[in-house]
Structure 1
Amino acid sequence: MTSSSEYRHVPLAEPRNIRVLDVEPASATSTELRCKLRQVSLEAVPLAKYSALSYCWGGQIPDHPVLCDGALLNITKNCLDAIMKLRRPQDTITLWIDSICIDQKNMAEKSTQVALMGEIYKHADQVIVWLGEWDDTLRKAVEVVKDIGTVEYSGEPTPEQGLLGQRQMQDKVKALKAATRHPSDDVLGPLYHKAWFGRMWTVQEVELARGNNILVYNGPDSSDQLPWNVLILATDALLVCHYDWIDLSRTVKLHKQLLTMIIMERWPVMKEVYKMKPGDLVHDPMVWTIMCDAREKEATNVKDKVFALYGVFQELKIAPALPSPDYSKSIEDIYRELTVAGIESDKHLYVLYDAPSDHRHLRPGLASWVPDWSDPGWRGRGNMDSRIAVSRDRFCAAGPADPSWKFSADGRQLLLRGKIIDEIIFCGQPLCCLADSNIVAQLTNPRDSASRNTAAEEYKDDLREAYTTLKSWVQICSWYDKYPTTGETAAQAFCRTLTQDFGVEDNNNPESKLEASNAWFRTMSSSNPDVEVFRAVHGDRLGARKNDDTLIEYVIRESPPAMLPLAAIQMKPGGSFHSAARTFSTRKGFFITEAGRMGTAAARVEAGQGEPRRAVNLVEAGDQIAVLAGLEMPLVLRPVNIGDGKGAIGDEQKGKRVYRLVTHAYVHGIMYGEVWEDKSRPLEEIILV
């Protein structure tokens, strides 16, 4: 290189101007990269032709200098590799690349340009997806995806041919599933596990583009290219056929969700077509569902968890109150403004169910009712975490009341209508259970004995903890004779609480479910539950000495620690309920209220320095139980002392009760509107800070 001067971006002449990069041609790959930046106006589109690059920085730093307008411009190696692949032997190619075309050192310009990025990708002649250099495993994955997603039609495609094509693609996936017995057999992971699929910015970059102009690129030959629409068709078939060897929900669900919403926005006639398709996609655009699906996506700057979707919200015409990107604002203000705009746009309060998470205490300046959007939250386990309010639709704690909310003048307090109906006075030991949701696959993988053995030990540890913790909760329940608010026996109320009133009663065979829960409670509440559990499963092996408690206690002491927990899930008929209780109560704590109600609420999972993870109750004695208009489940709220600095309020709120949101909860006896209809408890304004 002949220059030693550092490149300095020329200020943009107009608010809607952008820079594009002209890459000079070269016939040899060894030729030094030379390029020029020039300004064009988005008003000139489509005359201002360019291709937009979608790639991820991958934690790299810009330490590779290239010649730009005769000066040195530092870019990342991944970006350099992409440009070198795209450079042509004879013609200049014009690109838009965020890290180059935006002055990254100018925060004011960056804020303005980020607000335009949706338009930039939408109007590009082509969007090039760069995953990095392809190795043999990635090439194989691309070949398989092309085979699945490519269907030949004779003549013009018809609806009948379309259905036939879907069946053909699904048949190919079924054949692939049959040939994939273990994780090591999976050929698609090298593609779907690429970092690009996990990044936040890449979502907007492809979803706002025109679908037939998006190309996954590794070179000029067709064998080095994968059309985006082929990838989407193949991915759809993989999802329909439940190809579970890769976490497609984590990698592509948001892409498919937004693609559906954008197609319906651009072509309203498609709304009825999509509504006829089965699946778990939401057809009405909502800020809440989009942000929940985006929580697992990664961004180097966590402010981009919001800014990277600004163009999507504009395209879908939702969240109109969301301010334009502004990097000078704090993370707390950016996340709060999004949540305010989302509630106003969605017209519901579901976002409050996603406010608690394991790590939000690390961001103390965040309003308690605002999710930490930088944190995957409890949805980071593929929606398998029992703390998510997935069963909320079964409840109606606030009866048929519509959601009611308003915000303080500065937007920092959320004002709700509801009732404070009880107070927590005692919290039991929380149930942790940390084994991964894919533990079954780990336990049955014959090709990885180390992973299998580790998974087995984790599973045994979880069973031991569940057995010990549930046994301690049963002891707490022994304080009761009858449940105070429903008249049920303590056993009935307790078992319904453990499973959030799900699974205890079965319309098809209610007796079997009740028999299982009653048998389990009798065993666990006996004077010596360990002996009774052993006797229920292994007693016949002792023959005539089956009722010898001393012998059984000796056998238990001499047995492996996992023996009793394993026996608990093998009991007939109580074992099935033990498994259900463990599933529903994992990562939760059991509590008692002042009125004698039982409940469960989420616990926080944390790890000390060099220590194993453990669960810590989110709720504590003194927390209030609230039922709020528009929410199906009660919330646990913590009273705020106005002088403690945790939530300043305006003059109009002084003298009113102020709280911080802790989490949602199951509280037995109030889940179906029982207290909401109680006229002796008037509605009041509840302020969350």
Structure 2
Amino acid sequence: MATKSRFYAAHRPVGRQVRVLDLLPGNPGDNVRCEIRVIDLDGDGQYDALSYVWGDRAEEININVSGDCFPVTRNLHGALTRLRDREKHRTLWIDQICIEQANNDERASQVAMMRDIYRRCSCCAIWLGEINQYKKHITVQDARAVFDFFKFSADAQRGLFSSEMPILFQDTDDGACARAAYAAFAMYGNPWWSRVWTIQEAIIPSSAVFLWGSLALPRAVLFLATEKIRMDQMEYYFTDEFASLRILHTPLLRRVLYPIRGFLHSQDDDGPLALLMRWRHRNATDPRDKVYALLGLVPQSVMSSVEHCSYDASPAIVFEQATIDLIRHEGGLRPFIGSADLAHKTPDLASWAIDFASCNVVGNRQLRWWNHFHRHGEFNACGDRTLDLRTRGDSKQIELTGLRIDEILDVGEVYTVNEDESIYLTQVVQIMRGALRLVEDFRSSHPFRNKYTNGESWKSAYWRTMVGDLLMAEFPVQRVEDQHERFVRDLLGQEYLDDSTGVVVDGGVIDHQVSLKTQNDSHKTPIWNHGENELWESVCGMIPNHAFFITQSGYIGIGPASTQPVDEVWIFHGGKVPFVMRRTDASKAMGRHRTLNLVGDAYVHGIMDGQAMEDNHETRNVILS
């Protein structure tokens, strides 16, 4: 450690300076030797940057840096031996060596310049490790077939269909080996695709090349290939046989297509909120890096509270400051959707803050977050009331202006399903029928409530709530119309709501104890297979992992799975959707200023388009903690 301190002290960057490494020439088997120096980031110094995974620090190998013995991880050592030229030195920027990692002040200042470090580099070398590093049976020939597949796809010319079939798609032993190599190269097979830092490293540089052992593939080739083999583009470039095999191997191919499409979305600037949420499944040793590692893709000053990249601030403080920045940038409360997307795991984190350390997984269908994110813009619960946000003290609490709609009376059962599991028709219908019975029970106990709270029929309010009042095809298509009711009626089968008598079967009142017949798993039909139907997708976005509820005054809605009776429905200024809130013990002592915890966003029928705000009810200031 003393050697390291002397080494860094002798080459201390100040201001906009960074250290770079001159990798000295050598032959295979020679010790790795390099010289370190400081350059002005705004000067004309040339260097390449390295994107890689550190790997296990328990397996370190010593190299020589400016005469000092310096330990690096085995994966970095492998990259240096591959990048080394036999005759001339190569100048590199590598975070593991060029930043004094034990110095929090230096680490923060250097990380804050990461955007410019990668933007200024001549080329970024994306090191995926040795070919057989993670899967021992992969050969160079197998790996070459993977890169040849991407080159073949990128070279395809519009309207000129080649009858050649890449090895990756061949039903041969070589094809099977190539597919195994593809799995080793791609997401789930190679840790480079799982690290949050590698996102901006892959996007920001003007030029980049993927290095896998001795093989190289330009980033431009990989990006172009993924564009041409998209489902909506294949017919212009490839034969029907190629297209059918591409569809057959989609589960394998998407391990690269998914992250590359994410890179392209992030490259086009889909906004800081979507950016941070898109990549929250990526891993970081330090949870604060789930924010810091993406700041290079966010316009400067948008997230001013965290752009200094302090490693002295706790993860909770960083996430709270980042969430406040996102709310202010959005000019609304859409970040609250991210705050409630996953259970919090970061200690001492406010309920309204996004816990970026809580990871989701990439499953077989769109994540719940994206469904809520896309739906959000279709509503305007707050009407013309704009965001009124005030921070309090150390940013643990924020103050908002809002309208309390009602207290939740009853909550239905929740159908819990993971992202990589199928959604089954029987369970969905069971939840929908349970919600129907809650409505029936409420009507039975309120016999004079012949109409829903907004004057429409209970039947209309119910079926529109089941689909969230929207047709969805990943993105919203339109608001539902009267003719779409038949979908819900057909889905429920015999059991449906009659506005005069309650639940009916072919015109007659049914036994209220009717329940779904139990089916064996082998006979269950995954609802997701019917994705061509926007109404199926709408139901899939509203029913699983959500809770149906009814309030004291008869509002019905669908909210977070953790919704409980006595929770409250609120609309806040700047909030396009209602939110389920939970009173804290501190509320009792706060007088008019209630203290609330965020449970999550909700669909509440009859108030999604500003109707509650139009009634001029008295709003109040509340504190969120």
Same fold (TM over 0.5): yes
Q: Report whether the alignment pairs 1:72 with 2:77.
A: no
Distance 1:54 1:521, change over 3 A: same
Q: Report whether the alignment pairs 1:672 with 2:616.
A: no
* Distance (whole Å) between structure 1 residues aligned to residue 397 and residue 163 of structure 2: 50
Q: Report whether the alignment pairs 1:205 with 2:197.
A: no
How big is each residue's C-alpha offset from its partner over 1:262-303, in whole Å with a ceiling of 9 and x where there is no partner?
A: xxxxxxxxxxxxxxxxxxxx4xxx321221222122212111
Instruction: Give the partner amino acid of 1:97.
Output: I
* Distance (whole Å) between structure 2 residues aligned to residue 172 and residue 327 of structure 1: 54
Distance 1:403 1:247, change over 3 A: farther
Q: Report whether the alignment pairs 1:306 with 2:291.
A: yes
The aligned counterpart of 1:106 is 103
The aligned counterpart of 2:121 is 124
Larger relative helix fraction: 1
Classify the secondary structure of the residue corresponding to 2:37: strand
Q: Report whether the alignment pairs 1:585 with 2:585.
A: no
Q: How many residues align?
A: 566
Classify the secondary structure of the residue corresponding to 2:49: strand
The aligned counterpart of 2:584 is 640
The aligned counterpart of 1:143 is 148
1:86 maps to which of 69, 83, 87: 83
2:266 maps to which of 252, 258, 261: 258
* Distance (whole Å) between structure 1 residues aligned to residue 297 and residue 398 of structure 2: 26
The aligned counterpart of 2:335 is 351
How big is each residue's C-alpha offset from its partner over 1:172-208, in whole Å with a ceiling of 9 and x where there is no partner?
A: 8998899599x97968544432322332111222322
TM normalised by structure 1 equals 0.72
Alpha-carbon offset, residue 8 of structure 1: 4.6
Return 188-197 or 593-602, whichever deviates more: 188-197
The aligned counterpart of 1:216 is 210
Distance 1:577 1:141, change over 3 A: closer
Alpha-carbon offset, residue 324 of structure 1: 0.3
The aligned counterpart of 1:401 is 385
Distance 1:65 1:507, change over 3 A: same
Classify the secondary structure of the residue corresponding to 1:67: strand
Q: Tell me if structure 2 keeps the 8 A contact 1:499–1:580.
A: yes
Q: Tell me if structure 1 keeps the 8 A contact 2:431–2:543.
A: no
Instruction: Give the partner amino acid of 1:399.
Output: G
* Distance (whole Å) between structure 2 residues aligned to residue 14 and residue 532 of structure 1: 71
* Distance (whole Å) between structure 1 residues aligned to residue 93 and residue 209 of structure 2: 15
Instruction: Give the partner amino acid of 2:291.
Output: V
Alpha-carbon offset, residue 396 of structure 1: 2.3
Distance 1:580 1:324, change over 3 A: closer
Classify the secondary structure of the residue corresponding to 1:675: helix
* Distance (whole Å) between structure 1 residues aligned to residue 59 and residue 15 of structure 2: 27
Return 592-601 or 482-491, whichever deviates more: 482-491
* Aligned positions of 1:257-656 closer than 5 A: 257-261=265-269, 282=270, 286-314=271-299, 318-360=302-344, 362-377=345-360, 383-385=366-368, 388-408=372-392, 410-434=394-418, 436=420, 439=422, 462-463=424-425, 465-481=427-443, 482-502=450-470, 507=481, 509-510=483-484, 512-513=486-487, 515-516=489-490, 519-522=493-496, 527-528=510-511, 561=520, 581=539, 584-603=542-561, 618-642=562-586, 655-656=592-593
Q: Report whether the alignment pairs 1:231 with 2:222.
A: yes
Distance 1:9 1:250, change over 3 A: farther
The aligned counterpart of 1:547 is none
TM normalised by structure 2 equals 0.79
Alpha-carbon offset, residue 422 of structure 1: 0.4
Distance 1:143 1:341, change over 3 A: same
* Distance (whole Å) between structure 2 residues aligned to residue 219 and residue 356 of structure 1: 42
* Distance (whole Å) between structure 1 residues aligned to residue 614 and residue 211 of structure 2: 61
Distance 1:107 1:168, change over 3 A: farther
* Distance (whole Å) between structure 2 residues aligned to residue 532 and residue 204 of structure 1: 52
Distance 1:561 1:123, change over 3 A: closer
Classify the secondary structure of the residue corresponding to 1:326: coil
Distance 1:298 1:219, change over 3 A: closer
Classify the secondary structure of the residue corresponding to 1:596: coil
* Distance (whole Å) between structure 2 residues aligned to residue 346 and residue 432 of structure 1: 31
Over the aligned positions, Cα root-mean-square deviation in angstroms equals 4.0
Distance 1:596 1:249, change over 3 A: farther
| Unaligned runs of at least 5 residues, structure 2 | 132-138, 235-245, 444-449, 472-477, 498-502
Q: Tell me if structure 2 keeps the 8 A contact 1:22–1:93.
A: yes
Q: Which runs of 4+ in 1 moved over 6 A?
A: 4-7, 171-178, 378-381, 523-526, 529-534, 563-569, 575-580
Alpha-carbon offset, residue 13 of structure 1: 4.9
Return 418-427 or 77-86, whichever deviates more: 418-427
Return 393-402 or 626-635, whichever deviates more: 393-402
Q: Report whether the alignment pairs 1:10 with 2:15.
A: no
Q: Tell me if structure 2 keeps the 8 A contact 1:463–1:562.
A: no
The aligned counterpart of 1:278 is none
Distance 1:505 1:355, change over 3 A: closer
Q: Tell me if structure 1 keeps the 8 A contact 2:403–2:620.
A: yes
Q: Tell me if structure 1 keeps the 8 A contact 2:469–2:480.
A: no
Alpha-carbon offset, residue 531 of structure 1: 7.2
* Distance (whole Å) between structure 1 residues aligned to residue 165 and residue 406 of structure 2: 56
Q: Report whether the alignment pairs 1:686 with 2:622.
A: yes
| Unaligned runs of at least 5 residues, structure 1 | 152-164, 262-281, 440-458, 535-555, 570-574, 604-617
Q: Report whether the alignment pairs 1:195 with 2:178.
A: no
The aligned counterpart of 2:39 is 40
How big is each residue's C-alpha offset from its partner over 1:53-74, in whole Å with a ceiling of 9 and x where there is no partner?
A: 1111245545222233333211
Classify the secondary structure of the residue corresponding to 2:298: helix
Return 103-112 or 468-477, whichever deviates more: 468-477
Classify the secondary structure of the residue corresponding to 2:39: strand
Q: Tell me if structure 1 keeps the 8 A contact 2:340–2:599.
A: yes
* Distance (whole Å) between structure 2 residues aligned to residue 426 and residue 17 of structure 1: 61
Q: Tell me if structure 1 keeps the 8 A contact 2:25–2:87.
A: yes
Alpha-carbon offset, residue 423 of structure 1: 0.6
Q: Tell me if structure 1 keeps the 8 A contact 2:587–2:594.
A: no
Alpha-carbon offset, residue 40 of structure 1: 2.5
